[in-house]
Amino acid sequence: MRWSQAFIPTLREAPSDAEVASHIFLLRAGYIRQLGAGIYSFLPLAWRSLLKIQNIVREEMDTIGQEFHLPAIHPAEVWQASGRYQLMGGNLFRLKDRFQRDLCLGMTEEEVMAVIASKELRSYKQLPQIWYQIQTKFRDEPRPRAGLLRVREFIMKDAYSFDVDEAGLDLSYQKHDRVYRQIFDRCGLRYVSVEAHSGAMGGSQSQEFMVLGDAGEDMVALCQNCQYAANLEKASGHPAAVEDPATQAAPEEFPTPGLHTIADLAQFTGEPSGRLAKSLVYNVEGEIVLVLVRGDDEASEAKLGTAFGGREFRPAHPEEIVEHMGTPPGSVGPLHFAKPVKIMADQALRGRSNLTVGANRDGFHIRHVTPGVHFQPEWVDVRELRTGDLCANCSHPLQVSKAIEVGHIFKLGRKYSIAMGVKVLDAQGGEVIPIMGSYGIGMERILTAAIEQNHDKDGFWLPAAIAPFDTIIVPTNLGDTNIEVLSRQIYDRLRAAGRDVLLDDRDERPGVKFKDADLIGIPTRITIGKKAAQGIVEITDRATKTMREMPASDL
């Protein structure tokens, strides 16, 4: 491609509404333009890159499955059948057709694939199946952000597996794990695979592929010693130990006038906050539950969801706390309820003794309270892990980092098979319900993550496999016949050799061309300048900005 014929609208300055590096550079490099909140147009450079990413995904997926192309617009009935028409709430785009029939835009396609499976699959002999597509997804996100990182319309590779039994699902899952690694390797990403929270959908195992970076919205915990890596929604580890008094004393109520926070209490009692137990009260589908965590810990929303068995929950209202605890928030504890309440306690409190807790009496707390002795909790893992906690496997310190989720694989179970009536006959002639897996990769996320991990103040560089062009040729002065002729020769020769080359044949000064070349993500630059007469050109590696000269004939 010759730049003079191309549409590459680069910007000298960053538009004011971009803050994240990938967002700034995608705009400045002329890759994308915004149409609305979380809605972007892909310009030619972005589309070339996204097509290369999609082709890598397609080539790898074709080794284990078959490509479909499903509708993006769905009758509401399909989503009503699985119950997700309600469950997805505002995130599902909804519309009506001319006959006032309800429709929605696909945000994922378990239901549609399951509809096909239910109508077409008859025998266990047809399984396993791995079906995938690369297609636009729509999600009415409450808050789109950071350019392409979180958008309302995006391109996803979504795949679904159907197996007769769990052993088959394990295999399909492993195939995706392997293929995903090949995809991300080929895309040149540095990534980690982490254990993920399966969510309330009843999945049994789930794994996310994460690219570390501050722009990310997820938090992952990584052990620097062993291979342990998990999303913070799932990660467990041991907090630093806190010393308790050796001998068990009797619970003793004492006045704590006006003290309602852990920090106030720690200061007042002279004890570290880890010696206190923090009491949180939740309404779990109408049931009031008291959750205790160590005073210096925070409860994780995702882990609470798991602890509550996937039931809906919210923090209890103050009136509910008064009704059940007999005291307003601030003095709540596990003893002396006004009404019986279920107690859950975080594992970090297991084996602890002589803790200080709320007295369920305004202005009072109780010291010398020992879980398991003075109250009987259900033990759960609900604490949010922090940097410096010790790995559950090997007791080395864990590091918590932000990360961008580029892929997610998980074992779905039979929820959609059952909902959509997928069933086949097994070898004995009995009906079995196939078990499903679900696997996704965000195309724009791969591009965004690559930019997040490969940029400097001047721009970014993409791995050659996903760059819009692998090489840019920069003639410094087209008025010089030697330069002009040599540039065109090299351009023709590289293209004939199958390279994806951009020739900057614009009538611009060298400085402008260099700045643009640094900006737009092309990994290799060939500069043709003063030594063209001797047949010498320069090769610059964008990532390192190292340059070497070589004869044009060696290219």
Partner RNA sequence: CGGGGCGUGGCUCAGCCUGGUAGAGCACCUGGUUCGGGACCAGGGGGUCGGAGGUUCAAAUCCUCUCGCCCCGACCA
- Alpha carbon distance 29, 22 (integer Å): 10
- Indicate whether 403 belongs to the interface with RNA (CB under 7 A): no
- Indicate whether 182 belongs to the interface with RNA (CB under 7 A): no
Q: Would you tell me the crossing angle of helices 44-61 and 443-453 to the nearest 10 degrees? A: 110
- Alpha carbon distance 409, 418 (integer Å): 20
- Indicate whether 511 belongs to the interface with RNA (CB under 7 A): yes
Half-sphere exposure (Cβ direction) of 517: Cα atoms closer than 13 Å: 31
CB closer to RNA, 25 vs 375: 25
CB of 88 to RNA, least distance (A): 6
Q: Which of residues 462-481 bind RNA (CB under 7 A)?
A: 476-477, 479
**Among 72-80, 172-180, 341-349, 508-516, the segment contacting RNA (CB under 7 A):** 508-516
Type of residue numbered 159: A
- Indicate whether 209 belongs to the interface with RNA (CB under 7 A): no
Triad 117, 122, 126: Cα angle to 5°: 80
> What φ, ψ does residue 191 adopt, rounded to 5°?
-140, 165
- Indicate whether 271 belongs to the interface with RNA (CB under 7 A): no
Sign for the CA dihedral angle at 481, 485, 491, 494 comes to negative
**Among 11-19, 291-299, 460-468, 485-493, the segment contacting RNA (CB under 7 A):** 11-19
Q: How many residues in the chain?
A: 555
CB closer to RNA, 155 vs 528: 528
Radius of gyration of the chain (CA): 29
Q: Number of helices (H) and strands (E) in the chain: give both, helices first.
A: 13, 34
- Indicate whether 15 belongs to the interface with RNA (CB under 7 A): yes
**Among 53-61, 117-125, 340-348, 511-519, the segment contacting RNA (CB under 7 A):** 511-519
- Indicate whether 448 belongs to the interface with RNA (CB under 7 A): no
Instruction: Supply the DSSP string of 23-37, one letter for each residue.
Output: HHHHHHTTSEEEEET
- Indicate whether 10 belongs to the interface with RNA (CB under 7 A): yes
- Indicate whether 397 belongs to the interface with RNA (CB under 7 A): no
Q: Tell me how far CA of residue 358 lies from CA of 252, 273, 367, 554, in angstroms.
A: 11, 13, 9, 78
- Indicate whether 140 belongs to the interface with RNA (CB under 7 A): no
What does the DSSP 8-state code read for residue 534? Answer: G
- Indicate whether 134 belongs to the interface with RNA (CB under 7 A): no
- Indicate whether 216 belongs to the interface with RNA (CB under 7 A): no
Q: Where are the alpha helices (DSSP H) in 134-291?
A: 166-186, 262-269
Q: Tell me how far CA of residue 197 lies from CA of 29, 219, 503, in angstroms.
A: 36, 12, 47
Contact indicator for 361, 253 with CB cutoff of 8 Å: yes
CB closer to RNA, 39 vs 249: 39
- For residue 175, how far is the Cα from the chain centroid? 20
Number of residues that bind RNA (CB under 7 A): 61
CB closer to RNA, 223 vs 472: 472
- Indicate whether 458 belongs to the interface with RNA (CB under 7 A): yes
Contact indicator for 355, 377 with CB cutoff of 8 Å: no
Triad 9, 14, 19: Cα angle to 5°: 130
Chosen residue from 199, 239, 372, 463 binding RNA by CB under 7 A = 199
**Among 51-59, 199-207, 380-388, 424-432, the segment contacting RNA (CB under 7 A):** 199-207
CB closer to RNA, 129 vs 527: 527
Contact indicator for 194, 231 with CB cutoff of 8 Å: yes
Q: Where are the alpha helices (DSSP H) in 83-137?
A: 84-87, 110-120
- Indicate whether 317 belongs to the interface with RNA (CB under 7 A): no
CB closer to RNA, 107 vs 164: 107
- Indicate whether 204 belongs to the interface with RNA (CB under 7 A): no
- Indicate whether 524 belongs to the interface with RNA (CB under 7 A): no
Chosen residue from 172, 279, 471, 540 binding RNA by CB under 7 A = 540
CB of 375 to RNA, least distance (A): 27
- Indicate whether 108 belongs to the interface with RNA (CB under 7 A): yes
Chosen residue from 2, 14, 67, 94 binding RNA by CB under 7 A = 14
Q: Which stretches of the chain bind RNA, using CB under 7 A?
A: 10-17, 19-20, 23, 28, 34, 36-38, 84, 88, 91, 107-108, 139, 141-146, 156, 158, 199-201, 217, 301, 408, 438, 440, 458, 476-477, 479, 507, 509-512, 514-519, 527-531, 538, 540, 547
